[in-house]
A and B are shown apart, each in its own frame.
Chain A
């Protein structure tokens, strides 16, 4: 009491001009988590945004649920706000092999400027954007945790849910948190649900997989880990040979990760369909959407179980009927091309077939060009749908 669900956003939560967006990025994912809690007959979650000075009323209930949206897009918005010449700014990022046409594409289309730029900045600007973002993430995580421990007699559980770029940012942040032995020894996350994970493309392999992020060990920060990709989302496959998977954990940690996968502590899931929370309309680009990932039945039931405290019994599962509940959610329909989603799925399957370069030195390069290509696929599908 309470169980804290941290939601860490991905790319594209800012606006093209760096000014505040009309609706907070967290609105749809928070709706999704509330829907999961309701469907699983759990307590109504309290949303802590920002984290208040004192625990909200009812936090001493053992079933209490807190949702804490973790924002860091302001560090990219600052850049967007001051970038007068977008092309010149992108050139200065010093990305090897970036063609003029790609620079133009990034600078001239708001879809690319708001989404892809975040990833590029987080990766390239290790002097300001990355440490600033990491400090913001860890501030939110530790503040909410401290607040929960202000409840007398509290036992606190933590669940992390990160999306897209948020996986790289969270991986980096957890590794920093792991340098404080208190967190590994007494604090940890009961479950880390990573949606559309891009961390392996932006961070070196040992930093993605090495302890304290490896479940099933003493002093680990992560007890259980779910990694999820959508069958039609190209983003998790920027460099397919390096996509998040225990087999790609490197010589030192591969066997340990595979053992944890076999033991059920690490799970890889593929989701289908495109859904949105009630009163919202899904778009085809939501194959990469935070809320859509959360509302896939296999993700929702695992997250619900984690918030519940453990797996549901067969009787509870029958009552919850997650597949049935999911079927009542608004689902994507494409007016222009009925099978646009199927086409995107095929395009993503083709995108995944890229073979690794023969030169080992190039194994981790070219991800940004592939990100632009993936964004093109999504934008193209949007036009088709």
Chain B
């Protein structure tokens, strides 16, 4: 028992010594620093070690955000600047180093950032304008020279000459940059949400909504020249990448086929399957969190599985389409789109199947008629 305890203690002591040697015995590297793990050489002073843990973002995060909560954003950033100055002073020991120029640039950029931050904050609230450029305080990797990173895009920071100073520069810039990224989290969240929303809306539009036929897609993509302006007058012919990524909210439909049923209530059959082709119409889509709602109207033609094709109109409601078609002799017959039946749980799957089958046959049906 005693030998086991001794053996365990020896192992633990060995492991501790090993870990200490790793932390203090190796030179800090540029790679570690850009990954947020700035370190110091074994020759660094205790003051420098203490200052580093007060600057390095993963260690200082709780402290700095605590200051922000108590004293505000400006105070928190000022604290980062002041801590950085202490760290730089502790690592340079007040003596000239080959990185003096980089230190000077860093301090100047921290002051500029401090002023910019103050100017962007309204009454010390957390609202920060997005034009606050921090790229000069970002540490950039160097993939060609080991032991070197870049402050911003233009200042070399060489870790081989004075590694502790290089680490101090890297950690200070990293903390300031990371703090501003932390402040901008609401804006980044909003950006991410806008893309997630756009993606979800496309999912609704393509799979659950009105969608676009291929002809409509090509027309809306301006692939048919000026002759087909009529097909897609709402199109945006810009190919600029900054155009909206959302699916259309207002959509002109053209030659848009869909499956439908016309109630018969005869002895042979309750209803008749048909394809409706909406030749021209206007739809408006409203996208919700999980569903989209469409309203609109179109001029259409019905192609029943038996009997003659007939002209009519289709009114689109959030629950599906309702068509009224000329039956001759002043009579009309009504048809509902298969979307409507999807709302009836008992026949939901059958309605979906009908929709798919009918759409598959649409092209050939129209061609035959």
Contact = CB atoms under 8 A, between A and B. Distances in A.
15 contacts: A139-B192, A139-B198, A142-B188, A149-B181, A155-B177, A155-B178, A157-B141, A180-B130, A184-B135, A185-B135, A188-B135, A218-B136, A310-B29, A310-B146, A310-B149
Contacts of A47: none
Interface stretch (A122-130, A286-294, A340-348): A122-130
Contacts of B239: 126, 203-204
B142 A311 contact: yes
A253 interface: no
A359 interface: no
A23 interface: no
A154 B58 contact: yes
Interface string B229-244: 0000001000111111
Nearest to B215: A92
Nearest to B220: A127
A22 interface: no
A314 interface: yes
A127 B217 contact: yes
Interface in A56-103: 60, 62-63, 75, 78-79, 82-85, 88-89, 92-94
A155 B146 contact: no
Interface size bracket, A side = 35 or more
Given A186-B134, A217-B153, 20 more contacts: A62-B58, A93-B223, A94-B224, A127-B212, A131-B243, A135-B195, A138-B195, A139-B192, A153-B61, A155-B35, A179-B242, A185-B130, A190-B141, A223-B153, A224-B140, A305-B141, A309-B32, A310-B31, A310-B141, A311-B148
Size band of the interface chain B makes with A: 35 or more
Given A79-B214, A155-B36, A310-B29, A149 B185 contact: yes
Given A62-B35, A129-B217, A218-B135, A142 B192 contact: yes
A313 B141 contact: no
A138 B34 contact: no
B84 to A, nearest CB: 15
A132 B239 CA distance: 14
B191 A183 contact: yes
Contacts of A311: 142-148
A198 B31 CA distance: 32
Contact of B222 (A126, A129, A171, A180): A126
Interface string B200-235: 001000100000101111111111100000000001
Contact of B35 (A3, A127, A184, A313): A3
Interface string B169-196: 0000010011011101101110110011
B218 A93 contact: yes
Contacts of B218: 92-94, 124-125, 127
A315 to B, nearest CB: 9
